Amino acid sequence: MKSSGGKTRKAKGAGPKGTAPNAAPYRQAATKPRPQFAKPAQAPDNDSRVKAPPRSEPVPKRVLTRRSGARPTEKTGLILETRPSDDYALLDSGNGLKLEQYGPYRIIRPEGQAIWLPAWNKAEWDKADAIFTGNTDEEGVGRWHFPQVPLGETWPMAYDGIPFFGRFTSFRHVGVFPEQGTHWSHMDTLIRNAKRPVKVLNLFGYTGVASLVAARAGAEVTHVDASKKAIVWARENQEMAGLSGKPVRWICEDAMKFVAREERRGSGYDIILLDPPAYGRGPNGEVWQLFDNLPDMVDLCRSILTPNPLGVVLTAYSIRASFFAIHELMRDAFTGLGGEVQSGELILRERSSGRALSTSLFSRWGAK
């Protein structure tokens, strides 16, 4: 994600491969990170840039029935990787931490899967510009330590030429999940190759990078997220990217309620992106539990596809399951529609030693 101006410090992108002789691996005092699914604090209720729905009753539990017809063909065990680039790089990892390059800055954050030792020496890790501390006595940027010079809350980043704001948040994320880039490029290709108007629904859309990729490719986009603060951030990203003239609807609502209402309205979408948390809450206190609610959500998504759909992409983070759990769910849900379900893992490829760091599971259905 290329830096897009406004930086005053030189980027520290590359470092030597291998560990210097007798160099002690980097370690940080243990801190307990907040869950990956924790959502940011709500923006003020009077923010006029966000469309919020009226309060409504919970969505009734859906009665699911087994579909008839042939199941989609399948490809399993796929590994989709994001390699280091000028925009983003996983530089090194180990001792429960990861060292990343986001635009101009090196950042250290917790990573529970990095149970190995770092490949780079401590001197390289000490060049970090920001370290997430998880200090529960602080909020927002106060949960970050800046060992070089104090940094502002936001900074410019980019994905494939689309600029957006990175932000030091209190829940350790910075506004983008780089491993999703493989899905975004896949979606971009589907939209451009369709040679017709395409409608995209981005559920649990966060800060909107995927929505902006779709809009730039020519799609009409509906972006839904339960966090008003995330929606405001996404709108800021749209303005920064110079895509304010593109047709994007920004909706702050519980995703399940939105999709159920779209089904009642007879709405249709050609591409649906699903990036749900393991656990979350909607703007009116609605509770989302992935294993409880995902079957209903996937079934609802099928019901609002257009007659000639292009695809549905599901990504799952922070769950204790094999990708086969969501793979078989997707094959059952799209039985009778033909096409193919591809499933596996999203990984980041490390610059220091080429190790693979798994970030999430995915399953995507595509029409043939």
User: Domain residues of the chain, as ranges?
Assistant: 73-81+177-366, 84-167
Q: What percent of the chain has a predicted confidence (pLDDT) above 90?
A: 73
* Contact status, residue 353 vs residue 17, Cβ threshold 8 Å: yes
Higher-scoring residue by pLDDT: 289, 100: 100
Residue 319 is predicted with a pLDDT of 83
Task: State mean pLDDT over 201-220.
Answer: 98
Task: Determine the pLDDT at residue 56.
Answer: 56
pLDDT confidence of residue 331: 98
Q: Is residue 6 pLDDT above 90, yes or no? A: no
Residue pair 364/314 in contact (Cβ under 8 Å)? The answer is: yes
Mean of pLDDT values over 123-142: 85
Mean pLDDT across the stretch 147-151? 95
Report the relative pairing of strands 340-349 and 356-366 from DSSP bridges.
antiparallel
CA nearest to 304, candidates 248, 264, 249, 252: 264
| The predicted structure's pLDDT at residue 52 | 52
Q: How far is CA 77 from CA 178, 323, 341, 345, in A?
A: 20, 8, 11, 7
95 has pLDDT over 70? yes
pLDDT of residue 255: 95
| Cα 237–chain centre separation | 15
* Cβ(342)–Cβ(358) below 8 Å: no
Mean pLDDT of the chain: 86
For residue 353, the model assigns a pLDDT of 97
Work out the average pLDDT over 290-319: 95
According to the model, what pLDDT value does residue 213 have?
98
Distance CA(132)–CA(130), nearest Å, equals 7
Per-residue pLDDT, 280: 86
DSSP-assigned beta bridge partners for residue 358: 347
12-38: average pLDDT = 39
SS3 of the chain: CCCCCCCCCCCCCCCCCCCCCCCCCCCCCCCCCCCCCCCCCCCCCCCCCCECCCCCCCCCCCCCCCCCCCCCEEEEEEEEEECCCCCEEEEEEECCEEEEEECCEEEEEECCCCCCCCCCCHHHHCCCCEEECCCCCCCHHHHEECCCCCCCCEEEEEECCEEEEEECCCCCCCCCCHHHHHHHHHHHHHHHHHCCCCEEEEECCCCCHHHHHHHHHCCEEEEEECCHHHHHHHHHHHHHCCCCCCCEEEEECCHHHHHHHHHHHCCCECEEEECCCCEEECCCCCEEEHHHHHHHHHHHHHHCECCCCCEEEEEECCCCCCHHHHHHHHHHHCCCCCCEEEEEEEEEEECCCCCEEEEEEEEEEECC
Provide the CATH number for the domain formed by 73-81+177-366 in this structure.
Answer: 3.40.50.150
Q: Determine the Cα–Cα distance for residues 85 and 181; give it in Å rounded to an integer.
A: 12
What pLDDT score was predicted for residue 336?
96
| 33-90 confidence digits (pLDDT tens) | 333 333 333 443 344 445 555 555 677 787 888 898 999 999 999 999 999 999 999 9
Lowest-confidence pick of 270-274, 281-285, 332-336: 281-285
Q: Which residue has the tokens 């951030």?
A: 233
The reported pLDDT for the residue numbered 138 is 66
More confident residue, 221 or 319: 221
d(CA 294, CA 274): 10
215-273 tens-digit pLDDT? 999 999 999 999 999 999 999 999 999 999 999 999 999 999 999 999 999 999 999 99
**What pLDDT, on a 0 to 100 scale, did the predictor assign at position 21?**
37
Question: CB-based contacts of 191: which residues, under 8 Å, 6+ apart?
Answer: 198, 200, 214, 217, 218, 219, 271, 310
Q: Averaged over 126-135, what is the pLDDT?
A: 93
Query: Cα–Cα distance between 75 and 327 in angstroms, integer?
Result: 9
State residue 28's pLDDT score: 46
The confidence score (pLDDT) of residue 140 equals 62
Domain topology for 84-167? Immunoglobulin-like (2.60.40)
